[in-house]
Amino acid sequence: MAITQTPVTPQPQLIPTNLGARSFAAPPVALQQHIVPNELFFVRNHWKGTPGLDPTTYRLTVEGEVERPCSMSFADILQLPRKVLQVTFECCGNGPVPSYWDKQIRLNNVEKVTGHGIMGNAEWAGVPLVMLLERAGVKASAVQVVFTGADHGPDEVAGVPQEITYERALPLAKALHPDTLLAYEMNGAPLPALHGFPLRLLVPGWYGMTSIKWLVGIRVIDHVFKGFYQTDRYMVQNGPGAKEFYTYLTEMKVKSIITNPAPGEVIVPGQPYRVAGAAWSGEREIVRVEVSTDGGQTWQPTQLTPRIDYSWYRWEYLWTPPAAGKYVLMSRATNNQGETQPVEFPNRWDGHPYGNNMIFPHPVTVRAC
Amino acid sequence: MPIIDHSTQRRVVCDDFISERALVTHEHGATSLTIRELLIEPGGSSRLCSHPTDVAVLVQEGSIQMVVGEEVQTVRSGYTLLAPPHVPYKLINNTWVAARMLVISPTNDVQTDYLE
C-alpha cells in the first residue's frame, strides 16, 4: 500500500541551486562527514547536462609548446602510474553573503540557497599531470598550460559569447606540481558523469573552477592565457588605489565553517554538545581554529584533527550551553602564514560572493526538549 | 471583487520550524479554492498527510525536499510539486535556508488525513 511505502524519513539529497538543473549544493548533513559521498558532492557546471564522452573513443591531446605532441586514449591514461589524494575544494562562490549585501545578489537574480554547500572533500585517483607533460617534453618557451573541457555553450550569465568552450590555464609551476592530477576516480568509483567522466583536472588547494571537467585538451602556451573564463569570470573588484582593478581567484583563502549543529538543529541547555566543523586554506596548513559562542566577543581554542593530503581539517569543541535561548556561534581559522578570516564580508567593492571567507555567524537555538 | 492584502493576513506558528498564513479561503470569499503560504525553516518538516483533492506546492523561495508516495524529490524556487488525491506527502527542509511555498487546493474545505 502506498501509505506504508512512503518514506517518512528520506535520505538527504543534493539541493538544486539554479533554474536549469546544472548546479547542486550539498545538504548540511553531507559536510558533517570527512569524506562527502559522491551522491551528495556538490555539482557546479556551466551548462545543463554532460558532454557524454565515450571512454572507448575518448582522446586527450597534448600540444603547443612541447617537443612531442600526442593524443592518448583513456586506456593509455589508465596504464600510467596512479596517485591517490584526498582533496577538498570549494566553488569560489561558496558561502552565504551577509544580508547587507543581499540587494546586490537579488539584483543579479541569483537566489542564494547554497549555504556552505558548494564544497566538499573526496578521495581522488588519477595520473599526475606532470607525467604527461614530461612525456610530451615541455619547451623552455612554455609559460602556462591551458586545459580544455568538452563542455560548451552560451555564457550562463550574459548569454554572450553565444558559443564558448570552458577553458582555463594554470601557471607552469602549478601544472608541473606532482600533486596536480588528471583524475578518473572519485571515492573509489569511476568519476561520475556530473563530475567530469572520464577525466578531469584536479588542482589541490585551488578553487573548484580551475579543476576542468571532461578534459579533452592540454595546450602548453608561451604567453599568458586571456580566455573568457580566465579573465571575465572568477575575480573580485579591488578598492580604490589598488594597483590592479581585479583580483583573480586561484588558491583557496583561509576559511572555516561550522557543520554541527546543522541549520535548525536544537541543542539542550546544560548538556555537553560537540560543536564541530571544517577548516582549510588552500595548500597551506591550518594552525588554529577558535570558536565563539557569544557572537564573537570571546573565543576558545578547538581540537584540530590533521588533514590528509589536501583535505580539510576537522575540528571540534565541547560546549555546554548554560541556559535556554538564542546563541550565535562563530568559527575562526588561522593558517601557518598568520592569515585569519576577516570579520567583515571581504568584497565590499562589488558585493560579489567570490572568495568570501568571512567569519560566518551560525545562529542556534538552545531549549529543553 | 475581493482584494486580499497579504500583509494583513495573520501568520500562525505551527511549531518551532513551521508557520503559515491563509491567503485565499472561504473567509475571503473563495468557493472552490484555498491558498496557504507555508514557511519551513531548516530542520523542519511537515507531518505525512493526504487530502481527497490534488494539492500543488509552488516553491517561492529556498529549496524543499518533498515526499509524494514513494517518490522523493528536492526542488527549489521556480518549481511546483503536485500531490495527487489520497497520495501521502510530506515536506522536509534539510537545506541551508528557509523554504517559502504556496500550497494550493481546489476546494474551500480542505480535509487532511494525518498519517504520522
ipTM, 2 decimals? 0.88
pTM, two decimals, is 0.93
The full set of domains in chain B, from first to last, is 11-114 (2.60.120.10)
% pLDDT > 70, chain A:
93
Q: Do A96 and B72 touch (CB under 8 A)?
A: no
- What's B7's DSSP letter? G
The count of other CB atoms within 10 Å of the CB of residue A316 is 17
**pLDDT tens, per residue, chain B with 116 residues:** 788 999 999 999 998 899 999 999 999 999 999 999 999 999 999 999 999 999 999 999 999 999 998 899 998 888 999 999 999 999 999 999 999 999 999 999 999 999 98
Q: Do B43 and A264 touch (CB under 8 A)?
A: yes
- pLDDT band at residue A49 under the 50/70/90 scheme: confident
B61 to chain A: which residues are within 8 Å by CB?
111
- Where does CATH 3.90.420.10 sit in chain A? 15-233
Give the three-class secondary structure for A121. strand
Which class would CATH give A255-366?
A: mainly beta
Least confident of A92-101, A204-213, A341-350: A92-101
Q: Do B96 and A115 touch (CB under 8 A)?
A: yes
| A266-267 and A362-366 beta bridge pairing | parallel
Q: Which residues of A sit within 8 Å Cβ distance of B?
A: 2-3, 5-8, 10-19, 25, 27-29, 96, 111-117, 262-266, 365
Tell me how far CA of residue B14 lies from CA of A67, B46, B105, in angstroms. Answer: 70, 10, 19
Q: Determine contact, residues A274/A261, Cβ cutoff 8 Å.
A: no
B78 to chain A: which residues are within 8 Å by CB?
19
Q: Do B42 and A29 touch (CB under 8 A)?
A: no
Q: Determine contact, residues A30/A37, Cβ cutoff 8 Å.
A: yes
What does the mean pLDDT of chain B come to? 93
* Residue A345, pLDDT score: 86
- pLDDT band at residue A353 under the 50/70/90 scheme: confident
Q: Hey, what's the cell of A259?
A: 557543520
Residue type present at position A270: G
Selected residue of A113, A326, A365 to mutate for chain B interface (largest B Cβ count, 10 A): A113
Q: Would you say residue A328 has pLDDT above 70?
A: yes
Does the domain at residues A15-233 carry the CATH identifier 3.30.565.10?
Answer: no
* Residue A103, pLDDT score: 54
- Which residues are CB-neighbours of A59 under 8 A, at least 6 positions away? A71, A72, A73, A216
Of the candidates B36, B30, B103, which has an alpha carbon nearest to the alpha carbon of residue B66?
A: B103
Alpha-carbon distance A84 to A364, whole Å?
38
B91 to chain A: which residues are within 8 Å by CB?
none
Least confident of A3-12, A152-161, A215-224, A258-267: A3-12
* Residue A343, pLDDT score: 92
% pLDDT > 90, chain A:
80
% pLDDT > 70, chain B:
100
Q: Determine contact, residues A245/A238, Cβ cutoff 8 Å.
A: yes
How many residue pairs bridge chain A and chain B with CB atoms within 8 Å of each other?
A: 96
Residue owning grid cell 488525491: B85
Give the three-class secondary structure for A241. coil
Q: Sign of torsion, CA A120 A122 A126 A127?
A: positive
B73 to chain A: which residues are within 8 Å by CB?
13
Of the candidates A361, A363, A369, which has an alpha carbon nearest to the alpha carbon of residue A100?
A: A361
Helix (H) or strand (E) holding A3: helix A2-5
